[in-house]
Amino acid sequence: MVHRKNGTFVLVISLLPIAATVCAQDVPGIVINHIPASSQIYIGSPGIAVLPNGDYIAKHDQFGPRSTEHGRAVTEVFGSSDRGLSWSRRAVVQDMYWASVFTHEGVLYLLGTSRNHGDVVIRRSTDGGRTWTEAKDKRSGLLIDGGKYHCAPVPVLLHNGRLWRAMEDAMGQGGWGRHFNAFMMSVPADADLLNADNWIVSNRIGRDPTWLDNTFGGWLEGNAVLTPDGRIVNILRVETKPDGGKAAVIQISADGKTAVFDPESGFIDFPGGAKKFTIRFDPASKLYWTLSNPVLPRHKDPNPGRVRNALALMSSKDLRHWTIRCILLYHPDIEKHGFQYVDWLFEGADIIAASRTAYGQGADAAHNQHDANYLTFHRFGDFRTLTMSDSAPGARPGEAAWQPPDAD
């Protein structure tokens, strides 16, 4: 159950309870929040973090026709003190969008934009996500202003005394996808993260429409990742049709100032690469892991970026060759069901995750697979041992999801 909390400090906002009492027994995972599709406000940008005291933090923002995403964008923050079994709303944060939530030196941060294609901002909370600083100027979290910026809840990576975070601007030519220019931001780990002067920003790389045999539609939502040989790279979602299934790898210099892309070697096969994904390295298995949305054979579609009905656990030894290990979540409908933009963390033998989930039927249905009506929490136990035979019903080897579309 979500209870009311009164904001203090910089939050002068009434914190509303969950929009409706829902019968959520059929929704996979644990429902953190539900916003009915009829509101024309949808759940986006899920994120998850763990505080030093063991509390879980989850967040999402709001988008849609009746949201304030283009004005004073809203991010909702939730907390759990029982390892994800129950959740309560801790804050509603205005002027925060597309944010990563993460901890650094015991402090909680939100790093994203101020609104849809707004400024780059960072906010800090020292009380478990209940109150947040306000990004008013270059000393209080306004990192880059005067442009149009884009991102998603992607990793903030600690390496070699710096924090690294991928970002895009949306100031190129053309519409969605085509206008994204990718870059990397970094900051000394011992610096004040709210001081813009402490951050370094790389050069920005835009789209060349001739790449991928003239099918390259753009890149976005990059991951800062440390390669096996100790280099920082930016691994991005790639918009390409009709097949999808690609990611791009941009090389970042050790000082964080230079980004370089080689189209001959920089594109890799990546099931689900047409949708947002998060990559993390697991020291225990010495593998890279991700949760992605591959298009299973049954659901082949000319717009692979909108097929989000399967959530796959994947791994790689080298970041270039990826293997689907298990289909964790699956629904046979691709029109109004999706488990997408999943942010996740390792917790011992488990993965804990927050999903932007489109689910339901009839009056409880999502507007579509993209416009999610739930924020859900998931625990995937003993993930390193999972195999395809452990997949969700309907997506096990030989089952319907692996049959061609005309199998009926």
Q: Is 205 exposed, middle or buried (0-12, 13-18, 19+ CB in 10 A)?
A: buried
Q: How far apart are CA 118 and CA 72, in angstroms?
A: 10
Q: How far apart are CA 87 and CA 92, in angstroms?
A: 14
Those residues whose C-beta lies under 8 Å from the C-beta of residue 213, and which sit 6 or more positions away, are none
> Residue 265 in contact with residue 316, Cβ under 8 Å?
no
Give me the residue spans of the domains in the chain.
Answer: 154-269
Write down the residue that tokens 């209870």 correspond to: 3
CB neighbourhood size of 164 (10 A): 24
Instruction: Copy the structure tokens of residue 197.
Output: 């002067």
Q: Is 360 helix (H, G, I), strand (E, B) or coil?
A: coil
Check the CA dihedral 51-82-314-152 and report its sign.
Answer: negative
Give pLDDT, residue 208: 97
* pTM, 2 dp: 0.94
The full DSSP string for 163-197 is: EEEEEEE--SSSSTTTT-EEEEEEEETTS-TT-GG
DSSP character at residue 392: P
Write down the residue that tokens 């829902």 correspond to: 22
Q: How far apart are CA 346 and CA 384, in angstroms?
A: 11
Give pLDDT, residue 73: 99
Q: How far apart are CA 148 and CA 180, in angstroms?
A: 10
Q: How far apart are CA 407 and CA 405, in angstroms?
A: 6
Per-residue buried b or exposed e for 68-102, using 16+ beta carbons within 10 Å of the residue's own CB: bbeeebbbbbbbbeeebeebbbbbbbbbbbbbbbb
Among 329, 323, 334, which Cα is nearest to 379's? 329
Check the CA dihedral 197-203-209-215 and report its sign.
Answer: negative
Instruction: Give 10-residue mean pLDDT values along the chain (408 residues).
Output: 32 38 73 98 99 99 99 99 99 99 99 99 99 99 98 99 99 95 99 99 98 98 99 98 96 99 99 99 99 98 97 99 99 98 99 99 95 99 99 98 85
CB neighbourhood size of 3 (10 A): 10
Among 402, 404, 293, 313, which Cα is nearest to 358's? 293
